Amino acid sequence: MQTALQIPVTKTAQSHLSSIDFNHLEFGKYVADHMFKAEWINKQWASPVIVPFAPIPLSPVALALHYGQTVFEGMKAYRTPEGKISIFRLEKHHDRFNRSLDRMAMPAVPFDLFKEGLLTLIKTDSNWVPEKEGCSLYIRPFVFASEARLGVKVADEYYFMIVTSPVGPYYAQPLKVKVEMNYVRSAEGGTGFAKCGGNYGGSFYPTAKAKEEGFDQVLWTDAKGHQFIEESGTMNVFFVIEGTLVTPPLSTSILDGVTRDSILQIAKDLGIPAEVKPVSIEHLKTLLQEGKLQEAFGAGTAAVVAPIRHISIEDHLYELPEITENALSLKFKKILHEIRTGMVADKHGWNTWV
């Protein structure tokens, strides 16, 4: 395999950058000019290249299409006021990527290949990183089984690819969520901690039903007894209870969110009380009834921080206090923005500069 530092770049003959309205970005609608691609053949990653974004040849019997061997990551690159570009928490994302791949019996991606593939791609499409505040370049690394064969087996051939997309805010308004008491996203011992395609496909139906009822997302509960809160839609969830930040503990059914980890570290830096502990539905209901739940918010790479204003439990809709400029959720969002864009010191070394 070529060394990562020698990734060849074939540039597009015609950029479509000028056709993008960067003042009105929709999440995931636009894709940048180029993509990274490497192939797993003969038990090694080979032929890493940057090429113009285009469809790829894929057999109708590619194993990923039938048996679900597909894993992805979600990352972001940011432009600083001075015009520099940073990638947020590259090492943490790489570590989670490989843990997901391992759970799905797929080959790990070496750090050098992951890092240099990202850096080369973003350098090639640097003009696609938005300048507008609140916008960023979403980065999607993914691996899927490309071997053409019918039969339930671990594939012997894979594609590792990276594409990017300029994006705006994921949620524009505070969320109205429903505690899900019938369907489950994942169970202990399953693949809930991995970013594999099946986790998301399986969540679409209950989420769609919740949206038909007027909700933005669901609060997932544990599969065993629907007694404890686990996640919020596509995000980890936080609660502010009488000044203390609380989030459910990680498990094999909960995604190890990079934003979650960052917020817990920022809380520690600021001396904000924080606890990682189970949150039961009954306790949450009591907190809402007694007015002791000051805030609730989701946290993830796509949404960053998404305040929750309404929570429905067993058909009763509770309203949380109005979100003010002093809300912890907005404080965390502001600090994350300042770290990512180089406006404050990056004392934990979270940024990788392009």
> How do residues 196-255 score in pLDDT, each as one tens digit?
998 899 999 999 999 999 999 999 999 999 999 999 887 999 999 999 999 999 999 999
Q: Are residues 272 and 208 in the same domain?
A: yes
Per-residue pLDDT tens for 157-167? 999 999 999 99
Q: Are residues 98 and 123 in the same domain?
A: yes
The answer to whether residue 352 sits within a structural domain is: no
Q: Are residues 336 and 221 in the same domain?
A: yes
Burial class (CB in 10 A: 0-12, 13-18, 19+), 217: buried
Residue whose token pair is 């404080």? 331
The span from the CA of 283 to the CA of 230, in Å, is 14
Phi, psi of 279 (to 5 degrees): -120, 110
The span from the CA of 308 to the CA of 176, in Å, is 6
CATH of the domain at 108: 3.30.470.10
Per-residue pLDDT tens for 271-328? 999 999 999 999 999 999 999 999 999 999 888 899 999 999 999 999 999 999 899 9
| pLDDT at residue 171 tops 60 | yes
Q: What mean pLDDT do residues 51-67 have?
A: 97
Phi, psi of 155 (to 5 degrees): -65, 155
- The residue segments making up the domain with residue 128 are 4-169
Total number of domains in the chain: 2
Domain-ending residue, one of 144, 169, 194: 169
Phi, psi of 94 (to 5 degrees): -60, -45
The span from the CA of 323 to the CA of 308, in Å, is 9
The answer to whether residue 353 sits within a structural domain is: no
Give the model's pLDDT for residue 169: 81
Q: Are 143 and 106 in contact (CB under 8 A)?
A: yes
Q: Are residues 269 and 285 in the same domain?
A: yes
Radius of gyration of the chain (CA): 21
CATH of the domain at 280: 3.20.10.10
Query: What percent of the chain lies above the pLDDT cut of 70?
Result: 99
> Can you name the residues that pair with 313 across neighbouring β-strands?
316
Q: Are residues 165 and 210 in the same domain?
A: no
DSSP assigned state of 170: S
The answer to whether residue 347 sits within a structural domain is: no
The answer to whether residue 138 sits within a structural domain is: yes
| pLDDT at residue 4 tops 50 | no
DSSP string, 270-297: HT--EEE---BHHHHHHHHHHT-EEEEE
Residue whose token pair is 């040849």? 57
Q: Are residues 164 and 19 in the same domain?
A: yes
